[in-house]
Amino acid sequence: MSVLQLLFAGLLVLANGFFVGAEFALVSVRRSQIEPLGPGSKRARQVLYGLENLPQMMAAAQFGITVCSLTLGAVAEPTVAHLLEPVFHAVHLPEGLIHPLGYVIALAVVVFLHLVIGEMLPKNLAMAAPEKTALWLSPGLVGFARLCRPVTAALGACSRLVLKAFRVEPKDEVEAVFTSAQLGRLVEDAGQAGLLDPAEQERLEDALGLGSRPVSDVLIPRTSLVTVTPSVTPAEVEDLTVRTGYSRFPVCAEGGGGVFMGFVHVKDVLELEDADRAVPQHVWRPMATLRAELPLDDALTVMRRAATHLAQVADASGRVLGLVALEDVLEMLVGEVRDPAHRSSTPLVPAVTPPPPPAPLTAPPPAAAADPATAAAPVGTRDPAATRDPAADPGPAQGVLTA
């Protein structure tokens, strides 16, 4: 009988561990970890059902833990104490100490097994691998909750009444949504734990902080801009590109005041036939307008929807303060972006060193009279350029600027 009671006590410890592990797994797992597995996994669907009915699952788990713990105390402690009595009699322990000492030792053994196997071990496993633990244990807990639905429903109603008495709103599901501040702390913790490289951590922090920085942080002041007038010609745009290294030029009215009418991209004017006529307005590209206090993430959204790389920034009165380039906003996320239009440290057009002037032609020294039949042409005294055929050899090529 004692052996069967010990086996039953062991089953109660394992059952207690099952309920503890299932409870902590459901609390620790995130819906985003389980949803991708849902269509093809019955276990995943059971976990999702448990997450959607979390109060019922918690009530069932607590009910199972309580029943197992109380039954374990009622069965295991007297059984262990009874098994220790022959040992105490063999060592001639006084009769008055046998029952108290047996009870204390039995209680210590039961509490140890209950805490280690029935509580701490399943809890740590569930917290270390919540997804796997939930997939393995949640289906059993869901079945137990359905079996004990009347009891768990009554327990859930009682718990909600108590929570409302303390002005606490009960939740039917674990909160799985995080604010940007909470995500920032998670990224910081992950970086400190070595789970993220410093570069990855910096990019994530920059992305999360994008919404807290205004457009004015990346504003290019109007006084620093190279602008063109509506009468600008393709040749002038090409010349500006060569001299400044820029590929886009805002178009503003004569005098440089007012809002920008758009911007001219150098590649749009390269194919225009007449390089000396003003760039047509249909070639101008549109430009969005942003407020200086607008967050950068909203500015990025506006520029993407408008399909524009430049946006003018205006204050509350409508006065244009400058420009924001899409590239500058992206650099806040990924660091410096190298663009072919960037001015590099080397000249855009390499200087052409003129060839040295040809050596002057000199007449050969007078030669002694010789027989015309044996006279030869002088050697090494004539410039090769003097005899070069221009049609056959056009000479050295000059530097050509290509778009």
Return d(Cα 19, Cα 12) in angstroms, integer: 11
Residues composing the chain: 403
Contact 279, 262 (CB under 8 A): no
Domains along the chain with CATH numbers: 2-165 (no CATH), 186-212 (no CATH), 215-334 (3.10.580.10)
Instruction: Check residue 92 and give its pLDDT.
Output: 81
- If DSSP states are collapsed to H, E and C, what string results for the chain? CHHHHHHHHHHHHHHHHHHHHHHHHHHHCCHHHHHHHHHHCHHHHHHHHHHHCHHHHHHHHHHHHHHHHHHHHHHHHHHHHHHHHHHHHHCCCCHHHHHHHHHHHHHHHHHHHHHHHHHHHHHHHHHHCHHHHHHHHHHHHHHHHHHCHHHHHHHHHHHHHHHHHCCCCCCCCCCCCCCHHHHHHHHHHHHHCCCCCHHHHHHHHHHHHHHHCEHHHHCEEHHHCCCECCCCCHHHHHHHHHHHCCCEEEECCCCCCCCCCEEEEHHHHCCCCCCCCCCCHHHCECCEEEECCCEHHHHHHHHHHHCCCEEEEECCCCCEEEEEEHHHHHHHHHCCCCCCCCCCCCCCCCCCCCCCCCCCCCCCCCCCCCCCCCCCCCCCCCCHHHHCCCCCCCCCCCCCCCC
Angle between helices 2-28 and 121-128 (to 10 degrees): 30
Instruction: Check residue 11 and give its pLDDT.
Output: 94
Band of the pLDDT at 156, cuts 50, 70, 90?
Answer: confident
Band of the pLDDT at 142, cuts 50, 70, 90?
Answer: very high
Instruction: Determine which of 234-238, 276-280, 374-378 has the lowest per-residue pLDDT on average.
Output: 374-378
Residue 200 has pLDDT above 60, yes or no: yes
Band of the pLDDT at 134, cuts 50, 70, 90?
Answer: very high
The whole-number average pLDDT for the span 344-366 is 44
Instruction: Check residue 385 and give its pLDDT.
Output: 38
Over the stretch 160-170, which tens digit does the pLDDT of each residue have?
889 888 888 77
Over the stretch 284-310, which tens digit does the pLDDT of each residue have?
998 889 998 898 888 888 998 888 889
Report phi then psi at 265, rounded to 5. Answer: -100, 135
Over the stretch 30-78, which tens digit does the pLDDT of each residue have?
888 888 887 778 999 999 999 988 888 988 999 999 999 999 988 887 8
Instruction: Check residue 91 and give its pLDDT.
Output: 83
Residue 227 has pLDDT above 50, yes or no: yes
Instruction: Check residue 265 and give its pLDDT.
Output: 92
Return d(Cα 25, Cα 136) in angstroms, integer: 10
* Stronger pLDDT, 364 or 314, i.e. the higher one: 314
Instruction: Determine which of 3-7, 68-72, 141-145, 230-234 has the lowest per-residue pLDDT on average.
Output: 3-7
* Stronger pLDDT, 15 or 333, i.e. the higher one: 15
Mean pLDDT over each residue of the chain, to the nearest integer:
79
Instruction: Check residue 340 and give its pLDDT.
Output: 53
Go through 25-42 and write b for each residue having 16 or more CB atoms within 10 A of its CB, e for each that does not.
Answer: bbbbbeeebbeeeeeeee
* Stronger pLDDT, 271 or 14, i.e. the higher one: 14
Return d(Cα 222, Cα 313) in angstroms, integer: 10
